[in-house]
Structure 1
Amino acid sequence: MSGALRAPAEEDALTVARLISQHSPEPATRNQVRRDWSAPGFDLDHDARFDGSSYVAVDAFGDGRVWIDVHGHPSPEMIEWGEGRAREKGSRLLSGGWTSNEALLPELEQHGFQPIRHAHRMRIALSRPASEPIWPEGIGVRTFRPGDERGFYETHQETFRDSWEPIEESYDEWAHWALEPSVLVPDLWFLALAGDEPAGLAICNPSPGAPELGRVQVLGVRRTWRKRGAGRTLLLHAFAEFRHRGLKGAVLGVDAESLTRADRLYEQAGMYVAARFDIYEKVIA
């Protein structure tokens, strides 16, 4: 049963994680929620609301785009609060949800949001036989070393500039999500190198809410090295390392209309679509 809208408190983190987990393909954890709340620029008192059965958080990207993150079964008042806060922070209102959340998506449409894009959660079982990674000529790979932080950051930002609606993160913002000890697994950070020059990267870890799964959080190849097999080899290398660790499967998220056709690469590697996330936008007159 819904209660009054209020800012969430520290003791609500577990309940919020459960609301997120209701429709997410992998469960969320209390620590993930706390990390969201401690993100640079996020003000828990002003940027989130909770009523017991739903949760909304509003995050500005700094360029006019604002993401309204909604979970649970939101009341019209909850959606209206999120939209109102978003209007204070930007001019392009974006939101969305997993297609299994039949309460949320119609509510967004009733408030004037329209679907504009889809993203897929893709998955593969690691028990099946797999192709061995064969590195393209001139490219090798190594794992993360202390001092690599800036190199991984810069390669990540560069390789994702060709994605749909790319988000330019500051180093501090990126470090908050990538270098936090609970998610940083140096042996699962892979840097593809052509000599001393980065050609691509894969940032992976065990999924926080489903530790039997390996998560490919980031996979990118620089333009110069695309269409040479580096992306596929990075992916297969990650799968091989997951198997070595005894993980049962692998997951990742991808734009369903990827400009670099990453979705096709993942399908060719044996992954399948396990869930779909619909992205909505409300145009402000």
Structure 2
Amino acid sequence: MGKEIKKFTIKHPTLEDAQAITDLVALCDIEDIGEPDITLSDVLDMWNSIPIETDAWVALSETNEIVGYGFVEVTGANRMDTCVFVHPQFKNRGIGSLLLDKVEERAKVLVEGKEGPQKLMNQISFTNSAARKLVEDRRYQFSRLYERMKIELEEEPAQVNLPEGISLRPFQPDHDEETLFLIYDETFQDSWGYTKKDFSTWISQKKSDGYDPSLWFIVWKDSEPVGFLMSRMQDDGLFIDLLGVKREYRKHGIGRALLLHTFGIAYERNQKTILLYVDSDSLTNANRLYQQVGMRPHSQTAVYMKELVV
């Protein structure tokens, strides 16, 4: 007889489950990359973007321990993203498949009535070969590799002088929101996987848990915004969320200036660890810029894509 498969219960999480889910994902991170890459604020921030009563699931063991977690998030007009996590001690018991079933069922509901190809993107630690095989068996195609880059500041960073007529200014809350969104939308059209976003949804998500306007900056050429950077403090360091520069102003030191200015703010606040994620095949060679300011690859995330039939 084959090995008995224990039964697991799948349900939607509640806010009271947030810490247990954080602990679960941290265990998965430790197994995959050697250290946690998640905080409680990350989970709560994500839950500000999705209705967990319909778009997130946990798997419970027979003793009601959370041993699996998955979610699906609408991230653009034609794109959804998902991640699925399984407790290291409960792998190879069908939990990942159960959660992916829920994700894909819900994704098909979410795309009903939409036009054009609908893509479901699944993000997996590159070292998790079992998870990669699972999605490959379900007809997901490998699309991209993202690097988690990191630097530990040993001294206060030098500042960069911008070209004449170009200035770096702090973001002004309740004034610069639409300007920031417009420059984000323009600069990120050069990034892989770009999809049009709704302003009000985007800004409300960015102003959720961990929002600190003193860590947002806009670069101006006279009265024209030409670059921006958005970051936030996390338990494990300062995380650079978004950085963009208009095409015609690239290779003028603007991205470097934004990074080093942000590094300086972090150093002043006694935060020496800086983190970010970048596309390994960035169309704008962003990973080269990050290497030039001293950041180094720390781990990799594989992105798999599945086109949904509407």
Judge same fold: TM > 0.5, yes or no: yes
TM-score calculated relative to the size of structure 1? 0.89
Q: Which moved more, 1:128-137 or 1:225-234?
A: 128-137
Mapping of 1:108-257 within 5 angstroms?
Answer: 108-128=135-155, 130-146=157-173, 147-180=175-208, 182-207=209-234, 209-210=235-236, 213-257=237-281
Specify the code of the residue in structure 2 equivalent to 1:197: E
Amino-acid identity (%):
30
Aligned counterpart for 1:22 among listed residues 4, 22, 27: 27
Residues 43-87 of structure 1, C-alpha deviations (whole Å, 9 max, x = no match): 322212111211111122353322222122443222222222222
1:96 and 2:120 are equivalent in the alignment: no
**Paired residue for 1:260?**
284
Stretches of structure 2 that go unaligned for 5 or more consecutive residues are 1-5, 30-34, 60-65, 88-94, 112-117
Q: Which residue of 1 aligns with 2:114?
A: none
Partner residue in 2 for 1:61: 75
> TM-score when scaled to structure 2?
0.82
Matched with 2:104 is: 83
Q: CA deviation at 1:128?
A: 4.8
Match of 1:33 among 32, 35, 43: 43
User: What SS does the corresponding residue of 2:10 show, helix, strand or coil?
Assistant: coil
Secondary structure in 2 aligned to 1:8?
Answer: coil
Is 2:18–2:40's contact at 8 Å kept on the other side of the alignment?
Answer: yes
Distance, in Å, in 1 between the alignment partners of 2:193 and 2:251 is 22
What amino acid does structure 2 have at the position aligned with 1:46? T
User: Per-residue CA shift, 1:78-97, capped at 9, x if unaligned?
Assistant: 22222222222233222021
Deviation at 1:102, TM superposition (A): 4.3
**Aligned partners of 1:2, 1:214: CA distance in 2, in Å?**
41
Shift in alpha-carbon separation, 1:200–1:26, aligned structure 2, 3 A: farther
User: In the TM superposition, what is the alpha-carbon distance from 1:27 to its structure 2 partner?
Assistant: 3.8
Looking at structure 2, the residues matched to 232 and 23 of structure 1 have their Cα atoms a distance apart, in angstroms, of 33
Structure of higher CA gyration radius: 2
- Give the Cα separation in 1 of the matches to 2:302 and 2:98: 22
Q: Using a 3 Å threshold, how does the CA distance of structure 1 residues 93 and 187 change in structure 2: closer, same or farther?
A: closer
Q: Distance in 1 between matches of 2:51 and 2:260?
A: 40
2:58 to 22, 26, 50: 50
Corresponding residue SS for 1:183: coil
Deviates more, 1:101-110 or 1:186-195: 101-110
Aligned partners of 1:204, 1:46: CA distance in 2, in Å?
29
Cα shift readout 1:215-261 (whole Å, capped 9, x = no counterpart): 11111111221121111111111112211211112111111111111
